Every structure is written in C-alpha cells, then in structure tokens.
Structure 1
C-alpha cells in the first residue's frame, strides 16, 4: 500500500529507488534520469554487500526528510536482517541520500550523507530495477507516523502546494529519548455523558451534545454568548464526545486560552482524561504527552496551532476557537491554517466539527451558507441579556473635544471610565503597543514625514518635542505640514505605554496596569483599576470589567486589507465580551465612525450578519473564500517567468504583478516581505470554486521544475492572509 500521489518514477538519490506512480508529467519531464533501468525484472534482494537482508518484506519505502518539492516522493531501501524487527512502518530511520555526493562503483551507489526519514511501508519487492541501498539506522522503534497522520499530512501538502516532509516537520514533534522510555498510563474508561449546562442557552445546544454523546458527527458553527462560560461549554462538548468512546481535539489561538479550557476540562472530568499541548510545556513534557495520545492512553487534546495534527485515536470531534486569530496561521512552509486542517480531518475521519467564537469570520459564514455546517446560536433575547451596552463616538470629536486633551478621551469615554471605576476595573484597548509609533498633522491628519527620505517621523521617547525619522534617523526640529501649513502634531496611533502614562495623569488615584507583547497579564482583580491592553492581550477580570474603552478604532478599520473590517470587529467583540452585561451596568465605548458597518455590527452585537454581508460582497468581487487564491512573490523577472511556465488551469486569472514595499535596512522584516533592500513584485492567481486543487498542483509542479533548473526562487503561498 503506497501513500501519496505526487511520487516520481525516476530515482536519483542514494537509494536508487523510485516512488509510487502518479507524479505530474511536467515534473517527470524535468527531473534528470540518473539510473538506467534493467530490461529484466529484478529478483527480490537477499543480500547487500554480503550482509543478510530481511527474509520477510525486505524492502522499506521511506519518506526522506527533504523539503524540496522535486523530491516529494518515496524511495525504496533494502532492510538488513539486524534491523528487521525495529524497521516497522511509522518509525524514524536514517538513510544515505544525496546524488551529488555519491560515487558509482560496480552498479552501486556509495557514500552520501545520512539524513532522517520515516518508513511508510514494508514491501516484498521494489519496482525499481537497480540495486538498493540499505537502511543505515533505525533511530527509534517507536512508530510515530501512522497511516491516518500520513494521509492527513499528504492532504495538507497537496492543498497548500507544499512538500510532505515540510508538513511532517509540523506534525511530528522532535524525538526525546527519555520521554520514549517512559510508559504511558493505561486509558481510562469513557466518562458519563454530561448534562447540557449552559448549552441550554442556545437553541440547538442540548441536541448538539446529545448527538456527540450518541456517536454522531454533527457539524456546527457556534456563535458563543459574551462572558466567561464559553470554556465550560467547550469542555462539555469534549466530555460528550469522550462519553461515546471516541476522542476529541480542540485547537485554540494561544496558551492563555488553552489554559482556560484545560481548567474547565479538569473541573468537569478530573485529571488524566486529556492533555495540554502548548509550547510552554517544554520539549520533553510535550513529546511525552504527544506519545500518550499516539499510544491511545489519552483521547482528548487541547492545544495551540501545532496540536491540529495531534494523532488522536478514533477521532469523534475537532473543534477550533476564534478561527480569525492570526495565531492559527502557521508561519512555516507550507503555511497551513488550523481551520482548514481541521476541516480536512473532519472529512477524512468523518467526525464532528465545531467552529466557535464570539465573532464570526467570512469562512465560518460560508460553511453555514453552503449547508456543510449548521448555526449554533442563541436568540436575540439571550444576546441582549448577556452583552454590554455599546456606545459610539466619532473619532473626529477627539480632535475638537477640549475634554480629550488630558488623556485623548472624548467626553463620553471620560464619563464612562470615571463611572466604571466606581464599580470595578476598566479596560482600555489600544491598537498598538509601545509609545507613539506614528504622528500626523493635528489639523488635516496628513502623515508626518521626513523631508529627506519621506520616512515616518516619530517622537523620541523621553524627549520633549524632538522628532526623528524612523528610516534615516535624522532629527526634525521645525516641522510643518506640507498640505495645510499647520505646525501642530497629534498621535495617529498612540501605543499602550503612552496611553497608560496619559491615563495615569488623568486619574492620579487609580492604579494603571498594562498588558502587551512584553508582559501579558492573564487575570486582574475585580477592584477599580485602569487596564491598558493591546488587542489579543486583554486579561480576564474577576467578575468582568465594569466598562471598556476601544480607542483609535479608525486605525484598525483603515488598514488597506480585505479583512480590515472583519478583524476590527473581531478584536472589539473579544474585548467587549469581557465586560459585564448591560443589566449589571457594563458599558463599552468605541471611538470610531458610528456609520461604518463593523461599528454598527458591534452596537447590535451582530457579527453573524456582518459576516454574511461580507461574504455576499466577496462573492460579487470573486474574492476568497468564494474563490481560491494564491500569491507568487519574488524578483520581477522571476515572477514573470514562473507565471509563464506554470501551466495554470484555463480558468485561472492573474492579478498583477504589483511591487511590494521595500523593507528598509535595519528595520524588522515582516513575514512574506522581501529581504531588506530588494525589490519584489507579487502576483495573485485566483480560480473559481472547485479548481483550487488544480491550481495548487500546477504551482507545486512549476516550483519543483524551477528548483531542478536552478532558477531564482519565488515564494508561493496558497490562501494568503493579506491580499490588501
């Protein structure tokens, strides 16, 4: 039995073998023939350089750990008799590989470097006609790559035009010998099915749990009510799945969120029924927990992005929380998204699927509209009872309101903060961390730029009135606006630390806490305090926040990106969901233009309606997720040549290419940005629904062919998150 369909029939590595059939003809035509095939069928190998080979199934089909696309296939190796017992499918091995470093003697390849790999199959014969190299070493007899995980990894590689080896780098954690030697605990019997609990607040909530507990595979998009009970509800869905004798997998965006679900599961089921897979656990503990899942000792997993590949036995439910969070998108090749991987698992294992969150992405709305999943939501009465009061104030008032000068707060926000501090903590969400990243004219709001290089001017921290260019470093002493001639500046986006300083002066008797990238708070007491946080770093307050101020809303809405409105609404709702209900006095003030669609969706607490309208607009324009899209980035000549030779599907439409912003020397390089000083272009390729697989296959074949020819590299990404 062979896995995968992109294998080649030519062999050019140290094994002298070939992979399974079915490689694209474009790839076969461009890979150099390095081995002559014998005309007569080869007899089953029994010796290799005088050493005895395994009597039963003496050929091992190996996936070598080489991420290059033109070697994305399997290779056959002979199994020495001394390795026969340990060389089983799924184990890690080391093999000789590297055509450029081999010497040919008497028809055999010798030399070559040792690289890691996995045995995917043992066979009686090889369909390669030449002599086979032997396995060099079995690294560990622990079978870590089962057929289910291998099939999933192949499906992910094909969908994202990547290599199987790259996907397995993400799916299988590094080996830890000490963890392998420790036995895993015996599995516990299934628990009793839980009661509906707070799922009774949702129209079809109890029925969803009953379907899971009875062995069904319901698929739902869950619009969670604001408040802290979502983690308990997610734990009940996992418990209902375990009660049916099956396994469950939950993927969340960060470690803090995983810890909340972990606490809820422990409180509901006790210790030993689930594991927590996060990077904070350390390599040994994480691998030990992963092995417990692989061995079937534990059947429930909660974890961050890497847990999407966890090898849960007899999977009954896959769940993802807050799928719009950037953390769910893997930065390493082939850059899969956790939501899409779980969708593949739901189809492959025919298990239940639950996509939950306070907000709603366009992809979630599409799952419901297509009929693949059903909505799981509460009635409007329940929403109004659980949500805080949301009030708006136009950002233009911030520049005119005299009361705003003490702390950049319009009068309404000032009053809400002062009233909220009488009853508990007040959350202040700021779009950026740090001090004052960008400045603009206080009168016309034109960006303040350097006269020498047009770079952004920044206020030097700790220096009064001194400006400095963020690109060339020159200081600006007498700035004036070239658009209107004004001399006053205002912060375009003020960071969390600067906001904390200003609020501290405005409310001198109130403690001010900050939560951001350098120091993220998990919880804060329910006593009066100002909590200044960047989006995604908001701590949970005991008893909920009395109020929340969402500042500089226009900065998030004004990003030149297709998802700007969706992301802004998601971040606002995530902060507002931590505020007490309106019946308990909870109030949220958002500083943004009240007539904008995301602001109105927040006021009505209607993220689903916003996502449905966004989906309809994207369908008219042919944008994802209605269409499938890929980006091709690189030097202008390389991008043009790649697109000419790619053999794209006839329905494919190429948008661009357009130049990408140049990364200034010394500045941090964003993911997907060109190297400092280099000029890159990016083209977008889109195809209609149902042609995404053909697009991915064409791009993968073209990239493999380009690698063989030694052409200048281009960067290909399927479903780019930023197509602004």
Structure 2
C-alpha cells in the first residue's frame, strides 16, 4: 500500500474519481491576435493576488474582451476570474492552459473600477479579489439578456433645470455647485443645516447632482441606508432628474443590495452601459461604473453603515476620496455632524469647508436646552426622574402643534437589569450572559443563550429582586402611552413591530425612535426629546464623543426652527463637550478640538494604524515581518471575548496588537502588512487573523 492510497472495506465500491474534462484540438488552437489573456483568478490566498496568464482559444477570440467574466483551470478545479487584458507575448515560460470559457461577453469590470479596486486593495492591505467581490455584483443571466435604451436609442431624459437655492445659505455652496456645473473637480466637506421642504440635505444633494448632469457628466451618491436612498431619489425627481427606466436613457438608478440580485444587477448594468446618468445607493455602490463621472457624494460619513464589515474593511468616505483623486471628479462629504476624519481633510487643505455662518445657523435650527442635573436642581427629588417636569411640559404643550420625537438610545423593553439590592449586573446562571426583560410579562431572559431566568438569584449578595438599568424604546412608548392617553404613540426601530418608519404625518403624535431610525415629518417635528443622554454618550470608542453628537444632531435636524416654536431637550448628564456642541449647534468646532487632541496624542487620523487580532503566535509571527521606518508596536494585549454558552471563561483569548506609523508612512505600512500576509498565506501558517488598516474603532 502506498502512502496516498485510500483504504476501502471488502465488497464496498471505492471512491469515484472525477475524470478531468479533455479539450479538443479546436479548443487548444490559439487566437490569431493577442493570444495571451491575463486573468485575475477569484481565489482568497494573499500570495496569489496577481494576474495569471492563460491561452485565448480561437473560438473565444471575439468574446474574450478585457473586463469579462471567465472560467479557468486553477489548482485542479474550474474557478471564476476576470480577464484583465490581452497580450501578444506571455511572460510565463512554458505552456499556457487555455481559458475554459467566457461566462458572459458583458465587460463588467471597467478600467476605471479596476484601477480603483487596486488602489483600495493597496490602501487597506487587502487583495484585489476581495475588493472585486464588493465592487461587482453576482451575475444574473436573465437580467443580463435585457436590452436598455442607450444615448442614441429612442427618447432620452432631458437635462434638469438650472438652479441650486438649497445651497444659498452656505458659504462656498453656490461656488461649489457652479464649479461642478462648469466641469470642475472641487472637493468640499459640508455641514448641513435643517430646513423647510426644498432646503433640506436631500434637496441640496439633488441640486448639486442636477448641476453635474446639466454639465454633461454622471454622478454617484452613497448614503447609509435604503430610507436615505429613497429620499435622494425623490429629491432628484423634484430637481429634474427622474428615476431611470429601461425604455429611455438618462435619469437616476437605485443600487442597493437589499433590492435583491435581479434589481441590483439591473441597476449595475444600467450604469455600466451608460443608460443611467446617476447612481444612488448604499455602501457597495461606491464602486458603481458610472460613465464620465463628475461628482461623488458621501452623505453622513460618520454612520457605521459606511464601514465595510468584510475584508479589506474599506470605508466609503475614503473610497470616494480615492475615486475623486483617480478620476479627477468633484467630491462632496456631508452630514449634520462632522467626523474628525472629514475635519482632517479640511485642515490638510485637500478639501474646502462649506458651512453656514452663525446668524444663518441660529435662524435655521431649533432651540436646544440641556436638562442636566444642574439645570434641574430646583426640581428637587423630581430631577432624578427619567422624564423630568420640564420635558413632560414641553411634550404636552408641543403636541398641540404636531408630532413630537422621542429618541431613546436602546431598543427593546428593558434590555439591561441589575440586582435590586446590591446593583450588580444580573447574569445568567448557565452562560453568565446579561439578563434583560423583553416584554410586559417581566420574566428576565438571557441575551446570549435565550434561557428564562425564572429562579434567578444574585451571585454577589443572594438577592432575588431586579431593577431596570436601561429602559428601551418599547417600554418608553408604553410609559408615554399611559402618560398621554388618547395620543397616538408610534415606535420606529429595527426591532419594533412596525420596523423602521420612513415618515409620519403632520398630526399630534408621540414618535419613539432609536438612533438612526427617526422618521421624517413633512413639516418638521414640533419638538424632540433626547432621553438618557448619559447612556447614549457612554461609549468608550475613539469616536464616541463626535458620534453621539452626530446622533443627536440627526434627530434635532428633523425639528422645526426656533422661530416656528421648535425645541430640542437633551435629558441627562452627558459629557460636557458634546452637550455644549449640541446647544451651540457647532459640530465643526467639536471635530476641530478632537482633531487637535488626537494629533497631540498620536491617534488616527493624525497617524496610520494597522490592527492585528488573533492567536498570540500568529500575531507575533506576522508583526515580525513588518519592518517600516518609524513604526511603533503597541501590544499584543488580550482581547475580551464573551464565553460560549456553557463555558465559564475563554481559556486562551485572542490578542490584539497595533502598529502605528506617521501618516506619511501609511502607504509603506500597508505594503509591509500585505507582504507579511502573503508570506503567511504561502507558508500556510496556522491561526485565524483579522487585519485592519485604519480601523473605524480602536477599542
């Protein structure tokens, strides 16, 4: 018996061997011109992140164009790939394997998108294959067979009307739009204000896009979620850029993964074939193949949905900044708040600031009050109430004029409970997970294993009583419904029974929403209460301060201006910085202060960082090969890991290390990390690693 022989029992048939398909002589006959195809094979190992050469058979000569999907033989099996280019001579010495087949003659990978994908892979120490999985949607054969109207086929959508009144209140706003209309490539960081219909952020974005289309170029708008996509598309229709349809060329197309494979691929093809002028979509649409791209827009760049959770973990803001640089097109990064990363673009001079002056800001924003313990000292014991008297009176009085928004930082009923005697966090007796109450029945349930803790007893003091620590949106809605009988109470959130509401009518109602799920009122909310401010600002991440201000401003921007009676009440003792920035409505000032402190402390974005997480041996082996001038290694340190159900603790927790370099050495750091990953892949080193360059959070 040889070492590679498979043992079988007597009388039992042995394993079947799949015969390798043989190619006929016609399949091996090369194409007459450019017979060598350089193919990017869709495989994961980092050391295979390069093109491989194949022979183009004569029978596939016409279909084998750059950018098409192909099937090739690799590693003993047929795998997918993209044909990048064709050449006359091969660099490989020896016989080339032929292309198996051209999957489709549609050139789905354009040169511009390929260049962008390569830049993204290099920027985040990833592989080109991983980036293209994000950039190019899966093929849908039936949709690919559909025909769309092109620029010369039938009636096309006419150009939109000129004008950008929504940009008039902003310093530099009209100049930005005029520059885009003239074919320029300005780059701006925009702090948006609330406004009446026709003056809101979606109207301003639509008017900038309309100017780009009027100038004869295409545009790309990337927003966090499907609700924002719908708002931008509606605003574009009002600005003279209607929704795209296959029967006529021009217009705006929606590109979002939530729409399903067929709809997403149809939108992708509309942009690829030049049938649609504008693409509006979510995260993956940042790679959309828009023809003659003139403007890219990233709205609300601080939203966590803009950070890709899959390798190589790019961020939409940075992808669009790269695309603006490579394509020579205009860039607009906007939001009601301002991230430190966007502030860094302004401070470096790479982008210009577009913002309103203080007088305009005061005229467009509601009155903001912070109901801290100092502010409520005169209330006595009632100051400790979750809804103190001033907030209750404001809600009661403003309900007569329209809907009132109540933002709650936690979803659910009572998501966190504690011992009623010693205040220790209540934990599950089986898996040690956190306990919470999911409904009115009052039975505590484990958030990890789902078991009911009917006989719970505190492990610290032996007490059996429970008290609420965090009150969720469902319980808040229940309490407000009892406090205001006869007033409709609507709940908006991912876990709510009605889901996330897009809008609510202009009638008296209490709208309870979690951050990011606030519906729009057509004429604006009469008031807004931002409850549990201390809980909402309790994050320990690097961007927690700026992030909580962004969430508050997003809700406050839906309220009518102060001249129309609009009020915003922040309830709770939140940190002073974001509280004062909200009262002054000054997100740029907070971002500038945070940016200065990060530069002094050597924190991103003033420096470039690579985070490596995994088993200690694997982390140390990878870092040993990363040699960058000026690099500083922090760690490795253990990463807190929740135990699996039934386990008391993780025996060997993963560790995390950070490699920090000056910003000028960021590209060298990415190259060194990518090279070390390639060596690790080629050597088949053990352990599972997670490598992130410039992670969104360092905690």
Q: Is the 8 A contact 2:69 2:105 kept in 1?
A: yes
| 1:715 corresponding residue in structure 2 | 690
After the TM superposition, which of the residue ranges 299-308 and 262-271 deviates more from structure 2? Answer: 262-271
1:609 to 2:577 alignment? no
How many Å apart are 1:693 and its aligned residue?
1.1
Q: Is the 8 A contact 1:48 1:134 kept in 2?
A: no
In 2: Cα distance, 1:337 partner to 1:696 partner = 15
How many Å apart are 1:440 and its aligned residue?
4.5
In 2: Cα distance, 1:440 partner to 1:418 partner = 32
Q: Deviations over 1:395-430 (max 9, x none)?
A: 69999965578x831112111111121211111111
SS of residue paired to 2:658? strand
Name which of 278, 282, 286 aligns with 1:300: 278
| 2:134 corresponding residue in structure 1 | 170
| 1:149 corresponding residue in structure 2 | 113
In 1: Cα distance, 2:444 partner to 2:184 partner = 63
| 2:640 corresponding residue in structure 1 | 661
How many Å apart are 1:246 and its aligned residue?
1.2
Name which of 135, 140, 149 aligns with 2:104: 140
1:652 to 2:620 alignment? no
1:497 to 2:474 alignment? yes
Q: How does 1:155-554 map to 2 (within 5 A)?
A: 155-187=119-151, 188=156, 191=159, 194-227=162-195, 229-271=200-242, 272=244, 273-394=251-372, 403=382, 408-440=386-418, 447-448=425-426, 455-459=433-437, 461-464=439-442, 467=444, 470=447, 474-475=453-454, 479=458, 490-518=467-495, 519-554=499-534
SS of residue paired to 1:612? helix
Q: Is the 8 A contact 1:253 1:328 kept in 2?
A: yes
Q: Deviations over 1:449-503 (max 9, x none)?
A: 5689865343464344x55665685556565986xx9998643321111111111
User: Where do 5+ consecutive residues of structure 1 fail to align?
Assistant: 1-46, 99-111, 668-674
In 2: Cα distance, 1:91 partner to 1:97 partner = 18
Q: Is the 8 A contact 1:93 1:137 kept in 2?
A: yes
How many Å apart are 1:554 and its aligned residue?
1.0
| 1:20 corresponding residue in structure 2 | none
Change over 3 Å in CA distance of 1:206–1:290 after alignment to 2: same
Q: Is the 8 A contact 2:415 2:438 kept in 1?
A: no
Change over 3 Å in CA distance of 1:235–1:62 after alignment to 2: same
Name which of 66, 71, 84 aligns with 1:89: 66
In 1: Cα distance, 2:604 partner to 2:376 partner = 36
In 2: Cα distance, 1:470 partner to 1:287 partner = 38
In 2: Cα distance, 1:120 partner to 1:468 partner = 54
In 1: Cα distance, 2:431 partner to 2:39 partner = 55
Q: Is the 8 A contact 1:398 1:408 kept in 2?
A: no
Q: Deviations over 1:114-136 (max 9, x none)?
A: 11111111111101111000000
| 1:626 corresponding residue in structure 2 | 606
In 2: Cα distance, 1:434 partner to 1:460 partner = 6
Name which of 113, 116, 126 aligns with 2:80: 116
Q: How does 1:587-606 map to 2 (within 5 A)?
A: 587-593=567-573, 596-606=576-586
How many Å apart are 1:198 and its aligned residue?
2.0
TM-score after normalising by structure 2: 0.88
After the TM superposition, which of the residue ranges 708-717 and 587-596 deviates more from structure 2? Answer: 587-596
In 2: Cα distance, 1:236 partner to 1:426 partner = 30
Change over 3 Å in CA distance of 1:548–1:487 after alignment to 2: farther
In 1: Cα distance, 2:361 partner to 2:41 partner = 53
Q: Deviations over 1:432-453 (max 9, x none)?
A: 1111122347899664556898
In 1: Cα distance, 2:49 partner to 2:478 partner = 55
Q: Deviations over 1:127-165 (max 9, x none)?
A: 111100000000001111111111110000011111101
Q: Is the 8 A contact 1:663 1:677 kept in 2?
A: no
SS of residue paired to 1:60? strand
1:694 to 2:658 alignment? no
| 1:643 corresponding residue in structure 2 | 623
| 2:8 corresponding residue in structure 1 | none
How many Å apart are 1:280 and its aligned residue?
3.5
In 2: Cα distance, 1:251 partner to 1:158 partner = 22
In 2: Cα distance, 1:360 partner to 1:89 partner = 41
Q: Deviations over 1:156-178 (max 9, x none)?
A: 00111111011111111111122
How many Å apart are 1:351 and its aligned residue?
0.9
In 2: Cα distance, 1:706 partner to 1:223 partner = 44
Over aligned residues, Cα RMSD in angstroms?
2.6
Name which of 673, 677, 683 aligns with 2:657: 683
In 2: Cα distance, 1:584 partner to 1:690 partner = 49
How many Å apart are 1:183 and its aligned residue?
1.7
SS of residue paired to 1:656? strand
SS of residue paired to 1:169? helix
User: Where do 5+ consecutive residues of structure 2 fail to align?
Assistant: 1-23, 245-250
In 2: Cα distance, 1:478 partner to 1:53 partner = 77
In 2: Cα distance, 1:425 partner to 1:223 partner = 26
In 2: Cα distance, 1:264 partner to 1:460 partner = 39
SS of residue paired to 2:401? coil
| 2:54 corresponding residue in structure 1 | 77
In 1: Cα distance, 2:296 partner to 2:172 partner = 18
Q: Deviations over 1:550-591 (max 9, x none)?
A: 111111222111111111000000000001111111111112
SS of residue paired to 2:84? strand
SS of residue paired to 1:700? helix
How many Å apart are 1:371 and its aligned residue?
0.7
In 2: Cα distance, 1:241 partner to 1:189 partner = 15
In 1: Cα distance, 2:61 partner to 2:659 partner = 48
Q: Is the 8 A contact 2:407 2:514 kept in 1?
A: yes
How many Å apart are 1:679 and its aligned residue?
1.7
Q: Is the 8 A contact 1:431 1:493 kept in 2?
A: no
SS of residue paired to 1:691? helix
In 2: Cα distance, 1:627 partner to 1:715 partner = 20
In 2: Cα distance, 1:143 partner to 1:349 partner = 19
Q: Is the 8 A contact 2:277 2:290 kept in 1?
A: yes
How many Å apart are 1:196 and its aligned residue?
2.4
Q: Is the 8 A contact 1:160 1:334 kept in 2?
A: yes
Q: Is the 8 A contact 1:662 1:677 kept in 2?
A: no
In 1: Cα distance, 2:681 partner to 2:654 partner = 19
Q: Is the 8 A contact 1:631 1:682 kept in 2?
A: yes
Q: Is the 8 A contact 2:39 2:53 kept in 1?
A: yes
| 2:18 corresponding residue in structure 1 | none
SS of residue paired to 1:510? coil
Name which of 28, 37, 43 aligns with 1:66: 43
| 1:703 corresponding residue in structure 2 | 677
